[in-house]
Amino acid sequence: MQKTIERIAGDSEGVTYEYPVFRFDGTDKTAPSAYLQAALHAGELPGVVAIDALMPMLAKAEAEKRIKGPITIVPWANPIGRAQYHFGEHQGRFNLGTRTNFNRSFPLLAAPDARLLPDATFGGADRRLKNRLIQLSLGTDIVLDLHCDDEGLAYLYIHTSLWPHMADCAAAMGADAVVLWSEDTSGTFEGASIMPYQNVPASVARFDRRAVTTVEYRGILDVDGAFAASDGAGLYRLLVTRRVVQDPTVAKFDRFSGPVVPLENIEMMPSPRAGAILYDVKPGDRVAKGDRLATIVHAPGEVGGRTEVFAPQSGFILTRRSRRIIRTGEDLLKLAGHKRSDDARSGTLED
C-alpha cells in the first residue's frame, strides 16, 4: 500500500487543505480497477468508518498477493468541508464561501478524458478539489462515492445504463434498495463519473464491467462498530465479486432481491406548515395510499394547530429527517412509490 498526501491551495495566503490517498497496486493488468471515496459531504461518516474496516482486509489481501486490479481509496474526500464550523456546529454539506453543495458542480465531461477538465486555477479551492477528485477517479471501472442520508435505509443511486449490470454490486453490499436515475444537470460526483461514458463507443464505455454509484449508508447517526464492520465486509465482497480482489472464501453475490425504484417515483413530501414533526412512519415501513405519514404541530395547544400529512400513493419509506423541526416547504421524507410521482423531480432530489 502506498500513501500520498494531496494538497489543495486555499483562497488566501497561508491556507492549504490536505487529505490522504491510499493505493494498492494490482498484479493483473486485465483485472478491473476501483476507486472509493467517503465524506464528500464532510459530516457524513458511515463511509469513513466502513473504509476503516475495509483497509485491514485489503492489507491482508495485498500481503497474500490477491489484489488483482489497482485500488485507490480516499477516506476523507473533502478537507474543506471537514474544517467548516459555524457557531460550534459542523457544516460539511455546503461550501460556506460559495454556498455550493460539495456534491454539485463537478464538471460533466463529454468523454472520459482528463484533458477536458476546465481550468480551475482561479476557480476557488472547492473547484480545484473537485477537479482533482475527478482526475483521481476518471477511467476507473468501479467508482463508489460513500454518503449517508438523514435517517434511512441503505440504498444506492445507479444510472439506468448500468442496470441490471450492477445487480451483483447491490447484492454484495447488502443494499436495501436501489434508485435508478437517468439525468444529471447539477454535476454530482456520480454524474461526473458516469456521464462521460454515455456517448463513447461501447468498447470504451464497457457498461458490463463498469460500476458507478452513490452509496447512502443509512442515517447520519449510524456510525458504530457493527455497521462499520458490516459495510466494510460489503465493500470487500463487491471487490471480490467484480474480480478486483481474489478471495475464494467469499461467496459471490449475483442477484439483488430488494426493490428497484425509478427516481421519478420518489415522493419528497414537502411540509405544508412549519413546526414540530410527529412521524407515524420510519424507514422501511410500507404504506398504502391515504395512510398518515406525519403530523405537523404548528400551533401547540390551539384548535386546528395540527396538520396531518398523508401518503399520495402506496410504497415504502426510504428516508426521513433526523431533526424534528421543519419549515414550510421543506421535505419531510422520501416515499418510494409504485408509480411516477405527480411532483416528479429529475436530476437530484435535494439541494
Write down the domain spans for the chain: 2-258, 264-337
CA distances from 265 to 13, 230, 311 (A): 48, 29, 13
Query: Cell 459531504 identifies what position?
Result: 41
Q: Which of 337, 324, 319, 310 is nearest to 282 (CA)?
A: 319
349 CB contacts (<8 Å, ≥6 apart)? 263, 266, 268, 334
89 CB contacts (<8 Å, ≥6 apart)? none
Query: Mean pLDDT, to the nearest integer, of 3-9?
Result: 98
Query: Mean pLDDT, to the nearest integer, of 330-346?
Result: 94
Query: Mean pLDDT, to the nearest integer, of 146-157?
Result: 98
Instruction: Read off the pLDDT band of 351 (50, 70, 90).
Output: confident
What is the spatial order of strands in the sheet that 325-326 belongs to?
306-310, 292-297, 275-279, 325-326
CATH top-level class of 2-258? alpha beta
346 pLDDT higher than 80: no
DSSP letter for each residue of 159-199: EGGGTTTTHHHHHHHT-SEEEEE---SS--HHHHHHGGGTT
Its CATH architecture, for the domain 264-337, is Beta Barrel (2.40)
Is residue 338 within 8 A of residue 265, CB to CB? The reply is: yes
Is residue 51 within 8 A of residue 146, CB to CB? The reply is: yes
Q: What is the CA radius of gyration of the chain?
A: 21
Instruction: Read off the pLDDT band of 314 (50, 70, 90).
Output: very high
User: Residue 313's pLDDT is what?
Assistant: 98
User: pLDDT for 73-106, tens place per residue?
Assistant: 999 999 999 999 999 999 999 999 999 999 999 9
**pTM exceeds 0.75, yes or no:** yes
User: pLDDT for 240-292, tens place per residue?
Assistant: 999 999 999 998 777 899 999 999 999 999 999 999 999 999 999 999 999 99
